[in-house]
Amino acid sequence: MDGTTAVDVALQRVRALIADGTLRTGDRLPSEGVLSEQLGVSRGSIREAIRMLAALGVVDTRHGSGSFVAELRAADVIESLSLTVGLLPLESVLELYELRRVLESHAASLAAARAAPEDLAALAQTLDDLERAGNDERQSQLDHEFHMRIARVGGNDALGALVSVLRSRSRAYKLFTSDSADEIKRLSDAGHRAILRGIEAQDPVAAAAAAAAHVTQTEVWLRKLRPAAQPE
């Protein structure tokens, strides 16, 4: 036995109808009875499969109207990962830092190539506010805003969504409340300034290098201090 359940089979077969274009965005799914007969699985398994797809944002279930194939945008599908990424323990979060280095450095390089004057002004203002912030909650909020502005300036919604998902769980592990908070903030502020300088100079290589170094620095502190997760 491979451990595959009837619900797994139903899920895969309904997914296949969407993946191969049999069911397209906006199409109403056939009734549970029709799908049960068509796909060779029980109505209960079909019902559970549809519930799972609805939870993932693949299907939109409307009371009294049925279930419809949702508009499948890459960014929306990626954002649904936050439901599970938000449960990861620290060791698993640390595994994500290699991905964050690649993604955030790429986002910074795109921002350096594409940032308009108003984008630069907004980034600079956010960074000024961050450097003046005096409590952990405000610092965490502004830090996230700074990095997400960079991702948005790059103009790739899917990239921005993935950066947001990977960063979301990291924010639960507070560094600015530790005994090393002053040093962490000093180094973090300097890292942010280096990223902004690269973007302002329209230098994708410098911006990417600064972003990668900044992510690595955060990872080093997390590995050293290993703080407990705090509710967001």
The DSSP-derived string for 34-81 is HHHHHHTS-HHHHHHHHHHHHHTTSEEEETTTEEEE----HHHHHHTT
What mean pLDDT is predicted for residues 61-70? 90
Instruction: Summarize pLDDT for 163-213 with one digit per residue, the tens.
Output: 999 998 888 888 888 889 899 999 999 999 999 999 999 999 999 999 999
Contacts of 135 (CB under 8 A, 6+ apart): none
CA 53 vs. chain centroid, Å, equals 19
Instruction: Summarize pLDDT for 104-123 with one digit per residue, the tens.
Output: 999 999 999 999 999 999 99
The number of beta carbons lying within 10 Å of the beta carbon of residue 106 is 20
Q: Chain-wide mean pLDDT for the chain?
A: 92
First-to-last alpha carbon distance for the chain, in angstroms, is 41
For 43, counting Cβ atoms within 10 Å of its Cβ (0-12 exposed, 13-18 middle, 19+ buried), the class is: middle
What mean pLDDT is predicted for residues 212-216? 97
Of residues 53, 228, 86, the one with CA closest to residue 164: 86
What confidence category does residue 232 fall into, taking pLDDT thresholds of 50, 70 and 90?
low
Judge whether 180 and 199 are in contact, CB under 8 Å.
no
Between 78 and 130, the more confident residue is: 130
> Which pLDDT score is estimated for 1?
41
* Backbone φ/ψ region at 73: left (φ over 0), alpha (ψ -120 to 50), beta: beta
What mean pLDDT is predicted for residues 121-136? 93
What confidence category does residue 2 fall into, taking pLDDT thresholds of 50, 70 and 90?
low
Contacts of 193 (CB under 8 A, 6+ apart): 127
- Whole-model pTM: value is 0.81
- Which of 169-173, 194-198, 216-220, 221-225 is the least confident region? 169-173
Question: Domain 6-72 adopts which CATH fold?
Answer: Arc Repressor Mutant, subunit A (1.10.10)
Kindly list the domain boundaries of the chain, sorted by start residue.
Answer: 6-72, 77-225
**Interatomic CA distance for residues 111 and 101, integer angstroms:** 15
**Interatomic CA distance for residues 37 and 58, integer angstroms:** 22
* Backbone φ/ψ region at 203: left (φ over 0), alpha (ψ -120 to 50), beta: beta
> Which pLDDT score is estimated for 230?
82
Q: What is the dihedral of CA 59, 64, 65, 70, to 10 degrees?
A: -20
For 77-225, CATH gives 1.20.120.530
> Which pLDDT score is estimated for 37?
94
- Which of 9-23, 39-53, 79-93, 144-158 is the least confident region? 79-93
> Which pLDDT score is estimated for 198?
98
Token code pair at residue 227 = 């703080």
